[in-house]
Amino acid sequence: MRQHVNPLSQFFQRPLSLPSKSILFSNSHYPIHIDIGSAKGEFLIELASKYPKWNFVGLEIRESLVSASERKRKKLELNNLKFLFCNVNVSLHEWLSDLDYGQLKRVTIQFPDPWFKRKHFKRRVLKISLLNSIARFMGKDGELFIQSDIFQLIESMTNVIDHSNYFDRKDLDGFKLINKNPYDAYTDRELFALKKNLKIYRAMYIRNSSLFIN
């Protein structure tokens, strides 16, 4: 069961000042992977355990899930991982501006809230302003990975990314999507979808280094 919150409500429109990378991580120079909508945190917990020379940031709009994920992270003593509460469309740009150029290597957006009704499409997380912020601070050959079990949503997301021209779709052949999660780590929703034999739609993008944003 998805727990929806309205990201456009007044409460979630308040900008939050997120802790700087030097406060979050002792090795703040490591490459960074951001997971937008980290939910229960299982995906990043698995990656942070496997890759100690990367820093991982999970961003989630549901504060209760952030608290639960942080408890698990602390219990496992994963110091290269941090879960933060925020609305990424309001608070992420400023945090990204604090990074060293090229330090942001990966961004993942997995199984975001679909907001099926047309009047609610504006609540979907991937907006052109967010994509511009990611592209502006992501280094050459940085990765943007998206996946969903809802075709209409992945179609909408790929349209936003494709029309931006800041990213090139990997393994693209018409509307071909990649068949496998490339990170060998799974969100709680992905495991549920696999167990139920639901179709999962995935796309990997690589930052187009020839295009720059002022």
Q: Of 170, 165, 100, 95, whose CA–CA distance to 135 is shortest?
A: 165
Q: Concatenated DSSP letters for 158-199?
A: HHHHHHH-SEEETT-STT--BSS-TTS---HHHHHHHHTT--
208 and 167 Cβ atoms separated by less than 8 Å = yes
Annotation says 113 is catalytic: yes
The DSSP bridge partners found for residue 59 are 36, 84
Are the C-beta atoms of 204 and 161 separated by less than 8 Å?
no
Q: Give the relative orientation of helices 42-50 and 188-195 as an angle to the nearest 10 degrees.
A: 110
Name the nearest CA neighbour of 205 among 164, 157, 161. Answer: 161
What is the distance between the alpha carbons of residues 207 and 139, in angstroms, rounded to a whole number? 7
Q: What DSSP character marks residue 133? A: H
Distance CA 98, CA 191 (A): 34
Check 35, 98, 100, 113 and give the catalytic one: 113
Catalytic residues: 113
